[in-house]
Amino acid sequence: MAGISKAFRKHGTFIYQVPATVARYGTSALAIEALKEAQMAHAWVRIHSRIPYDAADKRIIAAFIDELKAAGIAVAGWGWCDGSDPIADAKLAIKEITSFGLSDYIADIEHGVHGANWQPDEIKKFCTRLRQDFTGAFGITTFPLIDWHEPELMKAALPFVDMFNPQVYWHHFPTKKMLRQFKRPDGSAYSGDKAQDYADLCLDRWDRLMGATPKPIVVTGQAYWGEGEPPFGQGDAEDKLDEFLASFAGYNRIAGLNWWHFGGGDSMSHRMRNSINKAKLGTKPYK
C-alpha cells in the first residue's frame, strides 16, 4: 500500500526487552544479523512502560535503535498506555519518541489488562493530544478478535491512526464458542483449533469494524509460549507456528506480519527461527 511507513510494512518483530534480546543472541550485532537472516524489514522496540527505564537501560535501547537503523531495518517505538490519564500517556509517548529520535509509534492499548481502563472519549483525548505534537506514523496494537474487546474503543481511534495491529495469538483458537458465533463473510464455517483460520476470523472482524474507512493491518503472530490453562507449552507453540506458516494465505490482506517476540524469556525458540527463516516472509505479497 503506497504511503504507509516502512516501519509498518512487510516482515518484522516486536522487541520487548532490548537487554534480554541482546543477551539471547550474544551481541547486538548478532541479534541484528538474526533479524536480517529472517528477512525482517522492521523492528518495534519498546520505548516506555509502566515502570520508567533507568539511564543505563535507555542508553542500551538508544544504541540498539541506532544500530537497527544503520542496518537498514525500519524502527518504530512502542509503549504501554493504561488510560488512567490519557493526556499523560500521550505526553510520555511524545517525550520518548523524541528522546529516541523516532518518527513511528505504536500505542499498546489493551483495556482490562494489567489494570488498563479506557473509554471512547479517553481514546479520543489520547489520540488528539498525541497528534498535536507528533506528525509521524501512528498505530495501535491491541486485541485480535475485536468483537469481544470493546470494539467502540478502536472505532474511536479510527480517524487518528495509520495502522492497527491485532495480536493474533492463536493458542488453540478458534474455539467452539467462536465457531458458533461467527461465520466467514460468504457464510461458510471456520475450522476449529487452526492458526490460519483464527487469523482469517480476526481479519474478517477487523474488516467489518472499519467498514468504509479501512486502515492497514499488521498481524502479530504467536512466537511465545507459557500462557493459557492448561499452559500452552513450547512444543505446542512451535507446532502451531509451523501450521500457520504452512497454511496462511492472507498476505494480500495485510500490510505486514510480525512476531511477539524476538528475544528473552519464553519466546522465539531456535526451531521457530528456523521455520520463520525457511518461510522467506520478506517475499510474501503483502497488501
- Tens digits of pLDDT across the chain (287 residues): 346 999 999 999 999 999 999 999 999 999 999 999 999 999 999 999 877 888 989 999 999 999 999 999 999 999 999 999 999 999 999 999 999 999 999 999 999 999 999 999 999 999 999 999 999 999 999 999 999 999 999 999 999 999 999 999 999 999 999 999 999 999 999 999 999 999 999 999 999 999 999 999 999 999 999 987 778 999 999 999 999 999 999 999 999 999 999 988 899 999 999 999 999 999 999 99
CA distance 11 to 257: 5
DSSP string spanning the chain?
A: -TT--GGGSEEEEEE--HHHHHHHHSSHHHHHHHHHHTT--EEEEEEE-SSPPPHHHHHHHHHHHHHHHHTT-EEEEEEE--SSSHHHHHHHHHHHHHHTT-SEEEEE--TTSTT----HHHHHHHHHHHHHH--SEEEEEE-SSGGGS-HHHHHHHTTT-SEEEEEE--TTPSPHHHHHH---TTSPPPPTT-HHHHHHHHHHHHHHHHTTS---BEEEEE-B---TTTT--HHHHHHHHHHHHHH---GGG-SEEEEE-SSSSSB--HHHHHHHHHHTGGGS---
Residue 187 pLDDT = 98
Tell me the pLDDT tens digit for each residue of 89-146: 999 999 999 999 999 999 999 999 999 999 999 999 999 999 999 999 999 999 999 9
Residue 1 pLDDT = 39
Indicate the burial class of 7 (C-beta count within 10 angstroms; 0-12, 13-18, 19 or more).
buried
∠ CA(204), CA(43), CA(107), 5° rounding?
60
CA distance 118 to 107: 13
Closest CA to 210 of 259, 137, 161, 148: 161
Q: CATH number for the 6-283 domain, one of 3.40.50.300, 3.90.1150.10, 3.20.20.80, 1.10.1780.10? A: 3.20.20.80
Residue 217 pLDDT = 98
Residue 2 pLDDT = 44
Residue 263 pLDDT = 87
Residue 3 pLDDT = 67
pTM as predicted? 0.96
